[in-house]
Chain A
Amino acid sequence: MARVKIHPLIWVLALVWLLLTLLPFWFMVSSSFKTALETYTRPVWALPLSPNIDNYKAVLSGGFFRYVFNSLLVVSISVTLILLLSAMAAFVFARLPYRPAKPLFGLIMAGLAVPVHVTLIPVYSLTTRLGIYDTPWALIGPYVAFSLPLTIFILTEFVRQIPRELDDAARVDGCSPARTFFSIILPLTSPGMASMGIYNTVMLWNEFVFAFTLTASPNQRTLPLAIWEFQGQYSANVPAIMTVLTMTALPMIVVYIFGQERIIKGMMAGALKG
C-alpha cells in the first residue's frame, strides 16, 4: 500500500468533513434518548437531559424483531441475486464479442431512467396476480430488477479495467468463457462487487415505497415501515422515530465495517495479479 505524508491542511479539511458527516448520526442517536418535549424546547444538537430509554422500550415492544427478520430475508436474497446477475451481465457487456448483446445495454439505460412511481401500479397488479402480495417475496423481484441497471453499469466499467491479457491467457489454456468468468473475472471484480454489495444492501435496507405498496399486514412489513407506529396524520413522535432509525442503521454499520475488510482483501488480490 502506497503511503504518503498528508499535508496538515488536508487533515483540517478532513476533520471538517468528518464533522459534517457525523452530524446526522449524532442527531439521530442523541434524539433517540430524548423525550418529545425536549426535541421542541431544546436545541437539536443538545445532549439529552437524561439518558431516557423509554423510546427503546416502546420500539422493542412492537413488532420490531419481526420486521428485522423480514428485512434480513429480503435484503440478503436480493443482494445475492443482484451481485451474481450483475457480474454475469457486466462480463457479457465488457468482454464477450457477441453483437446482439449490445443493444441490450439500452435496456439497462431504460432501467436507470424509469421513475419508480410509474412502475407501482403494474408491479402491484403483477404481485397480486402471482399471489405473493403481502409477503416478503413480493419485494425481491422489484428490488433485484431496479438495482440491476446501476450495478451492471458500474461493474461493466470494472470488468473493462481488468487487463485483457488475463482472459486471453485463460482462453489459450482452453478455458470456456463461463470458466474464465468464474475463475478469473469474478475474483478480480471483487472490490467493485464489495462496493456494490454494500451500496445495494444499504439502499434496500432503507427502501420504503415498494415496501409499503407490496405488503399490508404488520407481520409482513420490513424495517423502514416500523416508524409508522410513531407517525400520525398531523404529528410525529420524533424521538421514537429516531430510535427506530438508529436501530435500523446499526446493522448497516456492522455490514459496512465487514465490507471494508472485503475491499481491503480485494485490493490485496488486485496487488497479486501483476
Chain B
Amino acid sequence: MNHKLLAGLGILGLVAGASVLAQQKKEIVFWHIQSSEPGLSLVKKQVDRYMAANPDVNVQVVPIQNDAYKTKIKVAMGAGQGPCVFATWGGGPLFEYVKANQIIDLTSLLNENNYKNRFLSASFSAITFNNKIYGVPVEGVSISIFYYNKQMFAKLGLQEPATIAQLVSTANTLKKNGIVPFSLANKTKWTGSMYFMYLVDRMGGARTFINAATRANGGSFQNPVFIRAGKMLQDWVKAGYFNEGFNGLDYDSGQSRGLLYAGKAAMELMGNWSTSIMRSENPAFATNVGIFPFPAMRAGGPAGNVVGTVGDNYYHIASNCKHQKESFEMIKFLIDDQAVTERGAAGRIPPVKSFKPTDPDLKNIVELVNNAPGTQLWYDQYLAPELGEAHKDTTQALMGLTMTPEQAAKIMEDTAKRLAGK
C-alpha cells in the first residue's frame, strides 16, 4: 500500500515536471464538442495545420461530448479557470458570458482586412451584443425543415404541402392510412419546440417573438399569437398527428428516426443535421427522403422565416487567455478555404459566402436560407437561459396536454418580467 502511494507521488512529480517543460511553448487550450467523427478530425486537421505553421504554439485540443460539455464548461467557468478557446451556441446563454466579462470582444480582429466579410452576415446575429461581436461562426448552418418519406407520399398521392391547411390535410390523409404524420421524440424538449416556433412565426410574423423577448414595442408572451399557436399545436396532438408517448422518447437515441425508418411515421420536423445522420445510419432510406420548409400560413402569403442558426457552434476567446492573438489565428484555420472544402465534403454547411455546395440536398438547404426573409434563432438559444428553459418546459407540458396555452403564456410572461426586473 505504502509503496503504491509513494510510487503515485513519484509519478505525480514526473507529471508536474513534464508540464513545466511543455509550458515553454505558448499554450492554448481549446475545448469543442465535435467528439465523434467526422467533426473530430475536421477540427484536428486544421489545428495540426495551424501548429505546423506556428511551431512556437502548442494547442491542446479537448473534444468533449455535448452533454458532458455543458456541465464541464460551467464548472471551469465557475472556478474561473476555463480554456482559452471554447464553443457555444450563441444567443442568451452567451450573453451571460459577455455580461460576466468572461470572453473578449472580437470586433476589431474581425474587421482587420475585412475578414468579417467572408461570413454570411446572418451568422453574426446570435453573437452580437451592443454592436460588438464576441465570436467566430464556424460549425455551420443548422435550420429546421420537414423531412419526409418520398415513396410513402407518392403511394398516397401526396404533395409537399405549401400551406398550413395543406399540411393539415396531408396529416389527415396519412392518419386515415394508419400512418403517424409527425414523428417526434420530445424528452429532449427542443424538438417539440420547433413546431411552436414555426407556428408563432407563421401566425404572427417575426416581430411577435422578438418584441416579447426584448420587452420592446409592448411585446408580451401573453400576446394572442402565442396562445393561438399553442391551441393549434394542442389540436394537432389531440388529432393524433404525433406518435404515441412522444414526451418520453429521446431524440439523441434515435427513437424518432426509428419510426421514420420503419415506415410507421411519414414526416419529421428536424434540423438539417439529420441528412448526414440518416446517410450514415440508413443509406437506403436517406435516398428516399425529401425535404420541404415549414409551410406558409396561406397560399401567396409571406413565406416566413426559417428557424435555426446560421453559424453555431461559435468559437470564443476567454478574457483570461494569455495568447488571444494566437487563439484568433488558430480559429481562422478552422474555417479557412481548405477547412471549408473539407467541411462541405463532410456534409456540413460552413457559414461563409464562398461556399457553393455541389450536393443537391445541401444546395436545397442553402437556397432555403437564402430565400427566407430572415432566420429566427431557436428560442431556447435566443432567450436568457432561465427563460429558454421555461419555454422548453411549458412547450413540453403544452404538447402533453397538461397545461393550457394561457397557463404556458403566463409562466413565460411572469418569468420574462422577473428577469427583466433584475
Contact = CB atoms under 8 A, between A and B. Distances in A.
Interface in A109-146: 117, 120-122, 124-125, 128, 131-132, 135, 137, 140
State which size class the interface on B falls in: 35 or more
B261 A40 contact: yes
A235 interface: yes
A231 B65 contact: yes
B36 A232 contact: yes
A124 B80 CA distance: 10
A243 to B, nearest CB: 14
A182 to B, nearest CB: 13
A124 B81 CA distance: 9
B35 A137 contact: no
Contacts of B63: 218, 228
A212 B36 contact: no
State which size class the interface on A falls in: 35 or more
B15 interface: yes
A77 B8 contact: yes
B257 A40 contact: yes
Nearest to B12: A137
Given A124-B79, A125-B81, A234 B65 contact: no
A99 B12 CA distance: 38
A236 B253 contact: yes
B72 A229 contact: no
A36 B281 contact: yes
B75 A120 contact: yes
B142 to A, nearest CB: 9
Contact of A212 (B68, B261, B273): B68
8 contacts: A77-B8, A81-B1, A121-B78, A124-B78, A125-B80, A231-B36, A232-B39, A236-B252
Interface of B: 1, 4-5, 8, 11-12, 15-16, 19, 29, 31, 33-37, 39-40, 60, 62-66, 68, 71-72, 75-76, 78-81, 251-254, 257-258, 261-262, 271, 273-274, 277, 280-282
Closest 4 pairs (CB-CB, A-B): A228-B65, A125-B79, A232-B36, A121-B78
Given A234-B252, A234-B274, 8 more contacts: A36-B281, A140-B8, A229-B35, A234-B271, A234-B273, A235-B252, A236-B254, A237-B36
